[in-house]
Amino acid sequence: MQDIIFYVAAGDTLGVCKDRFGNQTVALPSLIRGGEARFRMRLLLGDGTDTPLPIEPLRQCVSWEFVMDSDFNDETTLKIVADHANITVASVPENAEEEGGHTFTEVSIPIPETDTEEVREYLNTSETASLNGELAGYDADGKLAYILQLKGFTIRNRIAASGPPSEVADRYLPEAGVRALISSMQTGPMGPTIIADPVTEMAVADETWGDCRYLDAAFRQLSFRGRVRSLRRVSLETVSIDSGVTGNIVLVPVVNGSELSGTSFVVAVGAVPSVTTFALEVASGTLALRRDTDDERDTLKDAEGSVTAVVLSVILEVQYDA
C-alpha cells in the first residue's frame, strides 16, 4: 500500500500543499497506478505556520466523499474514487511515540484501487498525468458541510512490456575494437566532453523528485566544482515544485565571483520536467548560475512570491581541441 502523508493549507476552499511547517508551498504527492493507497491529509489553518485546522467543525460531518478526476465535468466518469465509508478524521500526534506534543488534524482517505480503466485510458503510454482531488463532508441532514479541492496531484504510469527483454549477443568488444579504443584514448581528448552533475550544493531530498537542487529566494544559485575550461553549453532539467504554477526563471552567470555584464538566460519551468540548453562560453574560471528573482522576466511566482524551480540535473559541455 502507498501510505502518503502530506500537509495542506485548508483555510480556503482551494487547498495548497505545504511543507511540514506550513510555510513553503510544495507539490502535491504522486500516486503510482496499481494497488491500494491511503492519503493521510493533515489540514493546516493556512496562516504560514503548522497550526492545525480546528477539528470540531469537521466532526459535524457524518459522512465523507473523496474523488479524483482530470476535469470538472459532471458528465464524465471519475478516474479514482476513495472508500467513502472508511474516511476518518482525527487529531494525531506528530510522533506517535511522544505524548503531549504537537498534533495535526488528519483526514485518513483509503483508496482501494488506482488501476481503473479510466486511469489507464487517461495515461495511455504517458509517464505521468495530473489529477485534481475533492474532499466533501456531509452533515446529518445530508447537506454539504465541508469541501476542499486540490489541484495538481500526479498519477504515474507503470512500466509495462509485452514480453521479456532480448539478450545482447556479445557484451564485449572484439580485439580489434579494444585496440582502436586504446589508440584513440592515447591521442588525447577531442571534440565535446560532457560533465554531468558538477554542482557543489548539497542535494535536497524532495518528496516527489528525490535528490535534486532548488532555485528560489532562499537557494539562489548553483555553484560548480573546480574551474571550468573551454565551456560551450549548459543544459538544465527543471520542473516547478508546484504543478499549478509555471513560468520563467532568469539565470545570471557568475564567473570568478563576478556577474557577466549584460548576460542572462531565461529558462521556462513547467509542470512536468523539461530540458533547456543554452550557449555559455567561458574560457577558464570558477562558475555559478544565480537566479535573479528581481528580474521582471522571472515569472515563476504566486501570490506569496517566488516559487521554487526544482533542478533535476545539470550538464556542462566543454570543447577540447585536438
Number of residues in the chain = 322
Q: What is the mean pLDDT of residues 63-76?
A: 94
Q: Are 43 and 11 in contact (CB under 8 A)?
A: no
Question: Using one digit for the tens of pLDDT, what is the confidence trace for 225-244?
Answer: 778 888 888 999 999 999 99
CA distances from 48 to 10, 29, 44, 93, 293 (A): 11, 20, 9, 20, 21
Per-residue pLDDT at 180: 62
Per-residue pLDDT at 178: 59
Examine the pLDDT at 71 and tell me if it is beyond 60: yes
Q: What are phi and psi of 301, to 5 degrees?
A: -145, 155
CA distance 268 to 239: 9
CB atoms within 10 A of CB 283: 9
Per-residue pLDDT at 322: 43
pTM: 0.52
* Beta strands in 53-114, from DSSP E residues, in sequence order: 63-69, 80-81, 88-93, 103-111
Per-residue pLDDT at 211: 86
Per-residue pLDDT at 166: 67
16-20, 72-76, 129-133: the lowest-pLDDT one? 72-76
Q: What cell numbers appear for 53 in the block?
A: 485546522
Q: Where are the alpha helices (DSSP H) in 69-207?
A: 117-123, 175-186
Q: How confident is the model at residue 200 (pLDDT cuts 50, 70, 90)?
A: confident
Percent of the chain residues topping a pLDDT of 70: 86
Examine the pLDDT at 5 and tell me if it is beyond 90: yes
Q: What is the mean pLDDT of residues 139-158?
A: 95
CA 8 and chain centroid, separation: 16
Examine the pLDDT at 140 and tell me if it is beyond 50: yes
Q: Which residues of 54-69 are buried (b: 16+ CB within 10 A; e: fewer)?
A: ebeebeebeebbbbbb
CA distance 280 to 242: 29
189-320 — its CATH code? 2.60.120.260
Question: Using one digit for the tens of pLDDT, what is the confidence trace for 8-47?
Answer: 999 999 999 999 999 999 999 999 998 899 999 999 999 9
Examine the pLDDT at 316 and tell me if it is beyond 90: no
Per-residue pLDDT at 1: 81
Q: What is the mean pLDDT of residues 99-114?
A: 88
Listed in sequence order, the residues at least 6 apart from 317 whose beta carbon sits closer than 8 Å to its beta carbon are 192, 193, 194, 195, 231, 232, 233, 234, 235
Q: How confident is the model at residue 4 (pLDDT cuts 50, 70, 90)?
A: very high
- Give the 3-state secondary structure of residue 37: strand
Per-residue pLDDT at 139: 94
54-68, 83-97, 300-314: the lowest-pLDDT one? 83-97
44-48, 166-170, 281-285: the lowest-pLDDT one? 166-170
On average, the pLDDT of the chain sits at 87
Per-residue pLDDT at 230: 86
- Residue ranges per structural domain of the chain: 2-156, 189-320
CA distance 205 to 212: 7
Per-residue pLDDT at 187: 47
Percent of the chain residues topping a pLDDT of 90: 65
Per-residue pLDDT at 190: 53
